[in-house]
Copies of this chain bind each other. A is one copy, B any other.
């Protein structure tokens, strides 16, 4: 890694951080509603991951996907408009925070049923294999998804059929308020994944460089046809699960301990020359622009309420 890349990583992580901080502000102003799940603390994963992907690759994510959507390159304006429920949003405003979609960057959501996205990613990879397309499908999910039956079924299918999927588990130690130790008899998730004969590894998810390297290697292995791979990224969410969480289930001290490993701080410690101030200014502008764009966006006409249920109703 060089300074240029460090700068880029920092800038992207900062964009996510500031974007979400703005979202919190907008949430208390009731501009954004519904569920809002923040990624703050976990930015290194999205940024390191997306850096290693090509535009042809596909991404399947969860309801905690602002970071991934931004890192993947979806226009912050379109994302903010989506948070506002405006037609200019990346899902035309219909999805909101939990359902960001973008055909252009092959971003397939934004799935709010835990583990529900894994089978889709497996299927996408299957189609790539069948059509001889040299693409990788990345499937992102949390530690909570590991207990679901679909995790098991999907990992087996991917391994059995040698599919080009990269499974990315963001292990932030909690599923809502339930700690991993209360939900898994084997808390080393990478070991669980290995039991499907999938190459699997634990990686520091607070270190953007480590994340990026791991993905780079994995993606080139997968492109060679060496089947699926699995990374468990150890990370932590600094904020509550969603805006409705009293956070009774974890100690403040634990949170503070993890905040010392803040991926932005960590990167800056290593690369002192990162031009933080410049990025702060740049990003403040980008976010202002996004908010203005969203504010000025259009509300879908109520007449079109029932549109998009079937393809013949989709406006061209």
Contact = CB atoms under 8 A, between A and B. Distances in A.
B185 A159 contact: yes
Nearest to A195: B195
Query: What is the predominant secondary structure among interface residues of chain A facing chain B?
Result: helix
A242 to B, nearest CB: 24
Contact of A152 (B149, B183, B191, B198): B149
A207 to B, nearest CB: 27
A184 interface: yes
Contacts of A151: 149, 152
A188 to B, nearest CB: 10
A128 to B, nearest CB: 19
Give the size category of A's interface with B: 20 to 34
Contacts of A198: 185
Interface string A258-290: 000000000000000000000000000000000
A18 interface: no
Contacts of A155: 185
A153 interface: yes
Contacts of A197: 185-186
Nearest to A186: B197
Contacts of A149: 148-153
A10 to B, nearest CB: 38
A153 B150 CA distance: 9
Interface in A160-197: 160, 182-186, 191-192, 194-197
A156 interface: yes
